[in-house]
Amino acid sequence: MPFRLLTVFLTLAVLSTGCGFQLREDADLPPQMARTQMVIDDEYSALARRVRVMLEQSGVQFVSGGQASAILEIPVNKVATDVLTIGDNARVREYRISHTVRFRLLDAEGKELLGWQNLRQAREISFNEQRILAGSREQEYLEEELVETLSRLLISRLETVPAGSG
């Protein structure tokens, strides 16, 4: 029996590496971000919390103004819901949830390390009156997915900053 178990694990290991699967590694961020201040209107928003966690996992320490070696400004973090179609009974049938983020990275002296970046993701939802609770939960899942996707895109953009900038 132990031989079979070992064979199964080895087979899974070979298959998972063969398909290109890799665990997500820490972001390769510029050294200026070692001590970062994040400037965002709602520091408790889902996006702010997710970006903070992802950056901390990559070794970034969050500090206040005078101690910062970099400043991550996120002045736009907006979620909008737009109606796409309305049914015969004058009720919404489909709508779109979109999340827009605008950000830039500055060094301690205020010099731009990464100019203004705009990110936008959107998802569409069909509304079914018979499944109101399922629809609201689906909306929550989509909003969480948008936050996760935008956070990863934001981190990817920060990785493009050359190490010697500033």
In the prediction, which pLDDT does 7 show? 64
Is residue 92 in some structural domain? yes
The tokens of 78 are what? 């907006």
Flag whether pLDDT at 24 surpasses 50.
Answer: no
Q: What are phi and psi for residue 150, nearest 5 degrees?
A: -65, -35
In the prediction, which pLDDT does 9 show? 60
Is residue 3 in some structural domain? no
Rounded CA-CA distance 161/166 in Å is: 10
Is residue 50 in some structural domain? yes
Name the domain count of the chain: 1
Is residue 64 in some structural domain? yes
Is residue 2 in some structural domain? no
The tokens of 1 are what? 């029996």
Whole domain around residue 142: which residue ranges? 34-159
Structure confidence by residue, pLDDT tens digits, 12-22: 665 655 554 44
Rounded CA-CA distance 116/118 in Å is: 7
In the prediction, which pLDDT does 23 show? 39
Q: What are phi and psi for residue 98, nearest 5 degrees?
A: -125, 145
In the prediction, which pLDDT does 29 show? 93
Q: What is the mean pLDDT of residues 2-19?
A: 59
Give the predicted TM-score (pTM) of the model.
0.75
Structure confidence by residue, pLDDT tens digits, 51-105: 999 999 999 999 987 899 999 999 999 999 888 777 777 776 788 899 999 999 9
Rounded CA-CA distance 112/98 in Å is: 28
Flag whether pLDDT at 131 surpasses 70.
Answer: no
Is residue 137 in some structural domain? yes
Is residue 164 in some structural domain? no
In the prediction, which pLDDT does 113 show? 96
In the prediction, which pLDDT does 89 show? 74
Look up the CATH number of the domain holding residue 113.
3.30.160.150
Q: Is 111 helix (H, G, I), strand (E, B) or coil?
A: coil
